Structure 1
Amino acid sequence: MDFTLSAETHDLCKRIDAFLEQHVLKLETDPGSFGEGENIREDLLQDLRAKAQAEGLWCFQMPRDLGGQGQDTVGMAACYEAAGRSIFGPVIFNIAAPDDGNMFLLNKVATPAQKERWLVPIIRGEARSALAMTEPHPGAGSDPAGMMRTTATKRGGLWVIHGHKWFITGAGAAKHFILLARTSDDPKRGLTAFLFDKDQPGWRIERRIPIMGPEEHGGHCELIFEGLEIPDENRLMGVGEGMKAVQIRLGTARLTHCMRWLGMAKRALEIATAYVDERQSFGRTLIEREGVQWMLAEAAMAIETGRLLTMQAAWYLDQGNQARKQVSMAKIQVADTLHKAVDVAIQLCGARGYSKDTPLEWMYRYARQARLVDGASEVHKMVLARNLMAEGREFWSWQPQRRK
């Protein structure tokens, strides 16, 4: 497995870091930089997005002919990690969830006409998007294929939608939506994916659900569908291929979470190491104390472990492998590591870390969602256990490199 970065990717990472140093990091400790949901204020965001686009630091994951940088998954891992150094970085460079995963799916499976209408505006930064899949109990959660209750009924050339979704990330700011609904009782091919936009009648946002926060732009919303009509031309993939669409999206989207979280975890240690290197107690700097060194070393090692698992999964994806168990391992490890790194950083910075003088308290609250989003850690452990039982010793086999 070769994780060597191309010269182009290496240059992108350096330019991302310089951009953050020059324009972004200073905003994180200014209360005036934050808007609704404790994310970057919209006018600041649009200004920084324009600067990033002008410098070619935009949509690293999308093809060049659509306005992106054309990075493969390994290149994305490096760029996303660099962008994750700032709590505002991913959304500035247009690689934040949920748009990131939605762009990936649409680029992979949408028709040319669908790409022009639904994908290109997201790439350009002219529209935001959301994925409407999760439902309240007893509806779809970690088992959408078996528990989806929102229905799509065919009437002529239209699909009529009735149902209830919740915790739909970004819905309050989204213009374009990808919707999963049940079209039959087939246990494997019962779901279908559709595209709709916010201006269509027949649905509404019931509420923006208050959360521990902070949030992505648009929050996490509860949606009600009462006869939304979607033309068949806005069906994404074939009838019954909704779960296939979900797996295509989430395979990479779960890993891009890890990429961004690694940048945040590294930043937390960056803040902590700078503090313990200068803070004195009982005649010695904190870094001179063995206990502090152990805390930093363990967190740094956990981050490196997460990076290697993430890069391995990225490499597997670039070889054409679905990499489900590799992605699950990375997701479990990096979610735990993010919390560990930020927790250690707060402990070492003391009251300063717990205050809003650094972004650490923001990171700490954000980190708690990592073990839940895009599959709870326990679900990913179930995936790994199933693979282990099915594969035996082959669970640990190496994959040969794809011949070009």
Structure 2
Amino acid sequence: MDFALPPHIDALRREVRDFIDCEVIPLEADRANYDEHENLDETVLAGVREKARARGLWCFQMPEQRGGRDTGIVGMAALYEEAGRSPFGPLAFNASAPDDGTMILLNKILTEAQKDRWLQPIIDGRVRSSFAMTEPDGCGSDPSLTYTKAEKNGDKWIITGRKWFITGAEGAQHFVLLARTGDDDRKGLTAFLFDADQPGWEIVRRIPIMGPEEHGGHCELRFDGLEIPDENRLLNVGDGLKVTQIRLGTARLTHCMRWLGLARRSMEIAAEYVERRRSFGSTLAEHEGVQWMLGEVAKDIQVGRLLTMQAAWKLDQGDFARNEISMAKIHVADTLHKAADTAIQLCGARGYSKDTLLEWIYRYARQARLVDGASEVHKMVLSRSYLSEKGEFFRWGV
């Protein structure tokens, strides 16, 4: 593939970078702009989103007729990376998880009438969404271990069970729910849509975590008789795993896109510091050991960019790109942590303090090797693929 960006995408990328530098990064330094969970306060976020939307920097992943920019996944890779240079950048452009993945899923599988009801409010930024899959008793990286039940009663489904670590649940309005409707491991799950105003469910708690949180946190939910009309079922009965695969495939890669931006930002902070900080008669940047550290991370970031862009290109061609996404997810998750750790080491006590964003990124980075499939699960996927294909695993596309 040709890694050169189309001119209109590169121009948009430059606009995104300028917006991040001028409108978003300045907000990071004032602690008054943060909420109690170390994210941007809702009022502050609303203001920056209004500016982004006024400049046409909104929903790069959605069709133009619904208010997006429809850049394709390769375009998203370039734009999300620039947006991710601030942890609050993707929020500004309505390109952050979990809404990003939910919008991509719903745009692919809903009817136009259903899109008006469930998708358009998320695109417009009027409501937030959440994807309820993970469970305390089983389902995590393996959705087939879902125990939450959906039982048919006339033209409705009755939901009972529990979910946890559901990102963005507090304050979300539209939910995608995965529940068991049969005994078959592959065809025994079904996905549904429900609205936060429907009775029969509750948020038990917002689970405290090590790192800073997305808006809405990571919550534990209980379902005790939630009724969902059959018309709000996604695809056919038994297609729950298919829905999950449609959503998580691209969503895993958009995580990589944003994480690459954060990795780059970590090194930008470190580079600015080592170029002016003097030690033993020269700047830190002139020390060979420091150069090795910077060079190693720069190399890993570039490898991650190429892996991510290759997977994005294959998705744009209609390929599932499962191996490519797994490779990118493993490598970029490791690189984000390495970049933050290296930058803190180079910045010394200043990097460990809250005078820079590095400690925020470092705490956030640890989740990257867990969310949307632990690194070990992705390695298992790659191993199975290799053992099945042997030499063909390394084939070039023709």
TM category (shorter chain) comes to over 0.9
Q: Could you list the per-position Cα deviations for residues 300-347 of structure 1 after superposition, in whole angstroms to 9, with x for gaps in the alignment?
A: 000000000001101111111100010000000000000000100000
Q: Deviations over 1:124-165 (max 9, x none)?
A: 00000000000002x2111111x1100000100100000000
Structure 1 stretches of 4+ moved >4 Å = none
For the residue of structure 2 that corresponds to 1:38, the secondary structure is coil
Residues 17-26 or 163-172, more deviating: 17-26
Contact 1:83 1:89 in 2 (8 A): yes
- The match for 1:368 is 366
Separation of aligned partners in 2, 1:163 and 1:399: 45
The alpha carbon displacement at 1:10 in A equals 0.5
Q: Which amino acid aligns with 1:126?
A: R
Q: Secondary structure at the match of 2:275?
A: helix
**Amino acid corresponding to residue 212 of structure 1 in structure 2:** M
The answer to whether the 8 A contact 1:29-1:356 is kept is no
Question: 1:88 and 1:117 mapped to 2: Cα distance?
Answer: 27
Correspondence for 2:217: 219
Q: Does 1:251 align with 2:246?
A: no
Give the Cα–Cα distance (whole angstroms) in 1 for the partners of residues 344 and 232 of structure 2. Answer: 48
Distance 1:233 1:352 in 2: 55
Query: Which amino acid counterpart does residue 384 of structure 1 have in structure 2?
Result: L
What code does the residue aligned with 2:153 have?
R
Structure 2 distance, partners of 1:67, 1:191, is 33
- Corresponding residue of 1:4: 4
Q: Residue 222 of structure 2 aligns to a residue in which SS?
A: strand
What is the Cα deviation at residue 187 of structure 1?
Answer: 1.8
1:36 aligns with 2:39: no
> 2:294 maps to which residue?
296
Contact map agreement 1:276 1:285 (CA 8 A) in 2: yes
Instruction: Name 1:95's counterpart in structure 2.
Output: 95
Pair 1:121 & 2:121 matched: yes
Deviations 1:339-395 (A, max 9, x none): 000100000000110111110000000000000000000000000000000011110
The one-letter code matched in structure 2 to 1:200 is Q
Unaligned runs of 5+ in 1: none
Normalised to the residue count of structure 1, the TM-score between the two structures is 0.98
SS in 1 for 2:211: coil
TM-score by length of structure 2 reads 0.99
Which among 284, 287, 292 is matched to residue 285 of structure 2? Answer: 287
Q: Which amino acid aligns with 1:221?
A: C
Map Cα deviations across residues 222-279 of structure 1 (whole Å, 9 max, x no partner).
0000000000111111110010000011110000000000000001000000100000
When structure 1 is superposed on structure 2, of 21-30 and 227-236 the one drifting more is 21-30
User: In the alignment, which of 352, 375, 379 is matched to residue 377 of structure 2?
Assistant: 379
| Equivalent residues, number | 398
Q: CA deviation at 1:36?
A: 3.0
Question: Aligned partner of 1:144: which letter?
Answer: P
Deviation at 1:3, TM superposition (A): 2.0
**Residue aligning to 1:307:** 305
Q: Amino acid of the residue matched to residue 12 of structure 2?
A: L
Tell me how large the CA RMSD over aligned residues is. 0.7
CA deviations on 1:75-131 (whole Å, 9 max, x unpaired) are 100000000011110111111000000000000111222211110000000000000
1:179 lines up with 2:167 in the alignment: no
Query: Counterparts of 2:32 and 2:102 in 1: how far apart (Å)?
Result: 30
344-353 or 6-15, larger mean C-alpha shift: 6-15
Contact in 2 for aligned 1:3/1:315 (Cα 8 Å): no
Aligned residue number for residue 270 of structure 2: 272
Amino acid at match of 1:92: A
